[in-house]
Structure 1
Amino acid sequence: MDDLFALPPYQIALVFLLGGLTLFGLSLLALGKLHRAVAAGRGEPPVAPFFNAVTTIWAVTLGFTAADIWEINQEAAVAAEHEHYALVQLRSLAAAEGPQLPGLGEVLERYAAAVSAEWEQHANPYIGRASVALPF
């Protein structure tokens, strides 16, 4: 599953679209066969008594999954914001560099360059460049 979500967004959408179309086609074939059987008078269409329960459970599961994805996204945004503020504070310490903090500014610049490269490598094309920029 990680390999799937490592793909670019348009490829993920294509995979899910092809899967959805395949399931849609198989469903149409099954429903067509069922329709022909009912039209020929060979019985009633089977509707399981637990159909409502299954669809309700599916909907609740989908809702919980969406809520979990939303929560993970919020946690990532908060973590990125905390990192931003920590870097700003470290940069202000490096500006007033004393004997106990030799080379802190250089280390922060290298870290900022590494994080910027990582963001560009794994960038979401739907966010702006300003949200990727580091404070120094």
Structure 2
Amino acid sequence: MFLFIIFGVVLYALAYVGLLLMARHARKDESSIPIGAFIGTIATSWALSLGFVAADIWTLNAQADREVSAERSAIIRLIGNADVDVLNKPELAQALEVYRDNVIRDEWGKNHNLFPAESVEETLQDIRIIIMEIARSDAPAVIVSQTVGIFDDLQEARNTRLAIASTMIDQYKWYMLLTLTVLTAIAIVAVHADRVRAGMRALALYVLTATVSIWILTIHASPYSGVEQIQPDALQLNVDRL
């Protein structure tokens, strides 16, 4: 937040200097002042740019929520298939608990889901071997096929989780947003060149709005970090309840 306060102060200070310079020029040539409606041409573009970035962020966060639910569901279903009344494979349930612990500790905790953890890869291989042993046994083909499908769902959910964490909002959208933020401030200065006090108030309101808006976007930019980050508690609680 401190960096955004600095950003807002610097933006206001530069815009204020520009306002004073334009006010001096406006006293010499009043016809050079744009009409008030001119602000809308740039401010609308700024608002649209803000909306584009926000839409990408909310979409990414919603997808991250879905993938956590999918991974949790796959773990629960596999543990259900490992039950004594189905496949009677307690080692499969134990391996899934190890997978859960490694994901929470290493992949989610240490790596912030930015790259795979070796411990999780090894656990997945252990689960894969157990499922292959089940496939070679006299277990019902339907249950075996279902277990293989659920394991594929688990791997897909994990891969998507890692992909989401490493996916960033296109940097050019951020560049466009910051550029239009500055240009909108310049437009406000231009149309208030003959009313310095009103221009100061307009700039203060705009800089506050722009700074808070961009700050809110940045703290939500990554689903697995920041104030509203997704926690791995769902994986922890659901497995322990079984």
What is the TM-score normalised by the length of structure 1? 0.68
Q: 47, 50, 67: which is aligned to 2:34?
A: 47
1:71-128 deviations in Å (ceiling 9; x for gaps): 11111111111111111111112233747x5732232111111122244454656577
Q: What RMSD over aligned residues (CA atoms) do the two structures have, in Å?
A: 3.1
Residue 71, structure 1, aligned to residue 174, structure 2 = no
State whether residues 79 and 96 of structure 2, in contact with CA within 8 Å, keep that contact through their aligned partners in structure 1.
yes
Show the counterpart of 2:179.
none
What residue in structure 1 maps to residue 91 of structure 2? 103
Distance 1:102 1:130 in 2: 23
| TM-score after normalising by structure 2 | 0.42
Deviation at 1:19, TM superposition (A): 1.6
- For 1:1-24, what per-residue CA distance to the aligned partner results, in whole angstroms no more than 9, with x for missing partners? xxxxxxxxxxxx222222222111
CA shift in 2, pair 1:133/1:66, >3 Å: same
**Equivalences, count:** 121
Corresponding residue number in structure 2 for 1:62: 50
Q: Does 1:26 find its partner at 2:18? A: no
Give the aligned partner of residue 238 of structure 2: 135
What residue ranges of structure 2 are gaps of 5+ in the alignment?
113-224
In structure 2, how many angstroms separate the alpha carbons of the residues matched to 1:102 and 1:133? 18
- 1:132 Cα offset (Å): 6.1
Aligned to 1:91: 79
Identity of aligned residues (%): 29
Normalized per residue, the structure richer in helix is: 2
The structural deviation recorded for 1:27 is: 0.7
